[in-house]
Amino acid sequence: MYITPVIISQTQFINGKIGISKSLTLLFHLKIDIGPSWHNTLVFCWKINGGVLFKRLMETWDFDVICVGAGGAGVTAALSAAKAGARVAILSKEPIGYGDTRISKGVMAYAGLSQGDSPEEFYRDLLEGGEHLNDGELTKTISRETVLAVLTVEGFGHIFRRDEEGRISGKVLSPAGGHRFPRGLSSPSEGVSIGNALRAAITRAGIALFEETMTVKLYSEGGRIHGALALRLLSGDAVFFRAPSVVLATGGPAGSITLTPIACKAPQAMDLAWPTRQGLSL
């Protein structure tokens, strides 16, 4: 057996600021070598509270897929995995549908409806906006599948604006920064309505939802991620999640870049460091 200590503190993210409580949590991952499966793992938590040190078994969960992040990307990934028959959990340090998805005002790009526009033109705009540093295949997928993305979100129960005939047409699209053609498809209730649709879709699918639960560390073995350590922000209790697949959908570094004041403060780019600390590539 071996023991890997992890020291974290009980934290809360409030309006983009980090508050640290007096309670310090010491987490120990204790693995018992009884075969190759991570299901043969016991996790103990040592917690100091009021000057008293006590030990207990940590709360643990087993899933096929963990999605870290509960915005549009995380929910879509979770629903896709659940549809394929996987046991899925979503972890988010904020309530579902918050973050950048909520402050986007419910606007999504819809390419090909404006005169002269096409997925190829959208691809060009994405490359220009990314100063040609974009991942080529990913950028092509985004530009090709704007219609599918809109239909997917409406399948969750959201409704985008329609013209007088009840259709999505060029008449309801608005211009946006970096786009040479109007592509902005807005929502009557902005980002709040998308958040409500995301929650409803997760509830209907029976996916386990862990809100106000902040992922702090990923665990790997044999070059693959096998689990995640998280902290319940309201109680300070640690939770260990076992899963052979982890999807990171946490919003990227926008909240930590001071040059983007319109971005939500919750995404802090921590997710970008987790795999690299395990020697894995993004």
Domain range holding 172? 107-186
Structure confidence at residue 271 (pLDDT): 65
Query: Tell me, what amino acid is at 269?
Result: A
Most confident listed range (39-48, 207-216, 271-280): 207-216
How confident is the model at residue 236, as a pLDDT?
Answer: 79
pLDDT at residue 279, rounded to an integer: 73
Which pair of tokens denotes residue 279? Answer: 């020697």
> Total structural domains in the chain?
1
In a domain, 253, yes or no: no
Q: Is 209 contained in some domain?
A: no
Distance CA(240)–CA(217), nearest Å, equals 10
**pLDDT of 99:** 76
pLDDT over 80 (residue 184): yes
- Give the three-state DSSP class for 207: coil
Beta bridge partners of 54: 47
Q: Would you state the structure tokens that stand for residue 44, as one six-digit string?
A: 């103990």
127 in a structural domain: yes
Give residue 223's pLDDT: 78
Q: Which residues pair with 209 in a beta bridge?
A: 90
Q: Is residue 135 part of a domain?
A: yes
At 37 the pLDDT is: 45
Quickly tell me which residue has 């395990």 as its tokens: 278
Residue 50 lies in a domain: no
* Neighbour-count burial of 232, counting CB atoms closer than 10 A to its CB (0-12 exposed, 13-18 middle, 19+ buried): middle
Band (238; pLDDT cuts 50, 70, 90):
confident
CA distance 21 to 18: 10
pLDDT at 182 exceeding the cut of 60? yes
Let me know if residue 216 belongs to a domain: no
For 149-176, what is each residue's pLDDT tens digit?
999 999 999 999 999 999 999 999 999 8
Give me the residue label for tokens 């999807």: 247
The pair of structure tokens assigned to 105 is 């005002």
* Residue 274 lies inside a defined structural domain of this protein: no
Which pLDDT score is estimated for 266? 53
Q: Measuring CA to CA, which residue among 102, 92, 103 is closest to residue 70?
A: 92
Instruction: Kindly report the pTM of this predicted structure.
Output: 0.78
Band of pLDDT at residue 35, cut at 50, 70 and 90: very low
| 116 in a structural domain | yes
Q: Given the DSSP bridges, would you call strands 65-68 and 245-248 parallel, antiparallel or unpaired?
A: parallel
- Amino acid at site 280: L
Q: Give dist(CA 61, CA 269) in Å, integer.
A: 25
Structure confidence by residue, pLDDT tens digits, 1-25? 333 444 444 333 333 333 434 344 4
Helix (H) or strand (E) holding 242: strand 238-242
